Amino acid sequence: MPNSQLQDPIVAIATAHGRGAVGIVRVSGRGLAPLVMALCGRALPPRQACYGPFRDADGQAIDQGLALWFPAPHSYTGEDVLELQAHGGPVVLQLLLARCLQAAADPDTEAAATPRLPRLRLAEPGEFTQRAFLNDKLDLAQAEAVADLIEASTEAAARSAGRSLSGAFSHEVEALRQRIVRLRLLVEATLDFPEEEIDFLQQADAHGQLDAIESTLAAVMARARQGALLREGLQVVLAGQPNVGKSSLLNALAGAELAIVTAIPGTTRDKVSETIQIEGVPLHVIDTAGLRGEGEAGDEVERIGIARSWAAIAQADAVIFLHDLTRRGQPDYEAAEALIAERLHVDDATRILHVHNKADSAAPGALPAAEISLSARTGAGLDALRQALLQRAGWQAATEGVFIARKRHVLALQRTATHLQAARAHAAVGDTALDLFAEELRLAHDALSEITGAFTSDDLLGEIFGKFCIGK
């Protein structure tokens, strides 16, 4: 968005589409006092809820509701903010929105020639929060946490997003940045005075400082990975031959009859998806068409379903390869199992979790050792599968102190760690490589700064805020 547009006053409906008890129209910009007078018929005291009518151009009441006035800089965006809380009908909110735009375009008096609030326009997605970031009301990690809190799919994700919004993640990142800055200052001061005969690395305990920074970074990164998992969840695909119990397992995990279960091979023709949660971690579970050779597919629809199954497997974080214990040892079944296993393991064997179903009907001694056996029909063994999925995801049960994070945060922390490792390698050479040591510290500092937005690009800002909802 051009910088000139960021100076425009903006307005939007700030509540979700549809009918509700209350709906909010939000305005932000500089010099909103004339608009307040036009809409409410009086000046409003700051930060107090005032009940009254919202008037149209003829002075007739559009609705009765609460108006809240937040003069700059004490507002969400750092600008003047007006919030109109009316009844939550779509027509009422659209009338209020249109009235705001009309009142802004009209002059204050008949004698005046200029609009009351020039350039008032509809807000872009995320523009209110973008202005809060640009006006130093939030840093970038906190701004992202606003969207993450709205979109949280589990209680653990919501609590973690709340920690990030309160600044817990940002404070830890900033503390790391300051420690790197202090070490950089020592290095660069030494470079500025090369005539001094001082062993800088020993004098400043550079190795000890690096150890402490890397140790703290590792702890922050571990919690960020947990936070990213809470936000993104895990994509889990159920794969296997027809009639091994994939749909039954999906229903058992979800606790609902989502997929049709019959004894007819090829019942599942397309992907069936459901998001469940295990210990607060969202798992996006996908039931797929049974895998078998193209010549064995019943018809064209099943062939398309099998192709989609392999496409889903390629994108999954984890694949549950489901086996049928009641058919173990049957030549045709074992041959098909071997072909599927070969194709699955070509890509990435670490993603594959072997699970054996129908344990309640299996013959004694059929249960393989060191692999998960369960019964989707009775539920026996489901808890072991849930724990195995969490372990495969890298989840740790203790979520206290975890803050919500995004993939870009984790990547930035990984780049920081890489630059610190390079700095350590230069430190091993001694004071002759201080310039390279300083450069790696600078790059580590810049990577950390990207998380909070202290060092970032306009393109990144556009990508982040463009994914917010309008009105936020």
Q: Do 52 and 64 touch, CB atoms closer than 8 A?
A: yes
CA distances from 235 to 23, 251, 284 (A): 35, 17, 5
Nearest CA among 299, 249, 296 for reference residue 276: 249
The pLDDT value recorded for residue 195 is 53
The CATH class of 3-135 is: alpha beta
The pLDDT value recorded for residue 262 is 46
Residue with tokens 């629809």: 301
Report the interhelical angle of 168-192 vs 206-232 (nearest 10°).
150
229 three-state secondary structure: helix
CB-CB neighbours of 342 under 10 Å: 9
How far is 62 from 86, CA to CA, in rounded Å?
9
Rg of the chain (C-alpha set): 30
Q: Do 383 and 180 touch, CB atoms closer than 8 A?
A: no
Q: Do 372 and 355 touch, CB atoms closer than 8 A?
A: yes
Instruction: State the number of CA atoms in the 13 A half-sphere of 195 facing the CB.
Output: 0
* pTM, entire model: 0.77
How far is 198 from 290, CA to CA, in rounded Å?
71
Residue with tokens 């299996």: 362
Q: Do 62 and 95 touch, CB atoms closer than 8 A?
A: yes
409 three-state secondary structure: helix
Element of type H or E holding 273: strand 272-278
CA distances from 391 to 65, 140, 226, 387, 433 (A): 51, 31, 12, 6, 42
Sign of CA dihedral 323, 326, 329, 331: negative
* Segments making up each domain of the chain, as ranges: 3-135, 158-229+406-453, 233-393
Tokens coding 380: 């026996």
The pLDDT value recorded for residue 111 is 61
Tell me how far the alpha carbon of residue 84 is from its chain's centroid.
30
How far is 170 from 173, CA to CA, in rounded Å?
5
Element of type H or E holding 248: helix 246-254
Domain 233-393 fold: Rossmann fold (3.40.50)
Pairing of strands 50-55, 61-70: antiparallel
Tell me how far the alpha carbon of residue 408 is from its chain's centroid.
10
The CATH class of 158-229+406-453 is: mainly alpha
Report the interhelical angle of 140-151 vs 458-465 (nearest 10°).
20
Tokens coding 302: 């099943």
How far is 158 from 150, CA to CA, in rounded Å?
8
Phi, psi angles (nearest 5°) of residue 188 = -70, -30
Q: Do 254 and 274 touch, CB atoms closer than 8 A?
A: yes
- Mean pLDDT in consecutive groups of 10 residues from the start of the chain, 472 residues: 78 90 94 91 93 89 94 94 94 94 84 82 93 93 91 85 91 93 81 59 78 93 88 87 86 70 50 81 84 62 78 86 88 87 74 87 68 87 89 71 86 95 85 82 92 73 75 76
How far is 232 from 393, CA to CA, in rounded Å?
11
Element of type H or E holding 132: helix 127-134
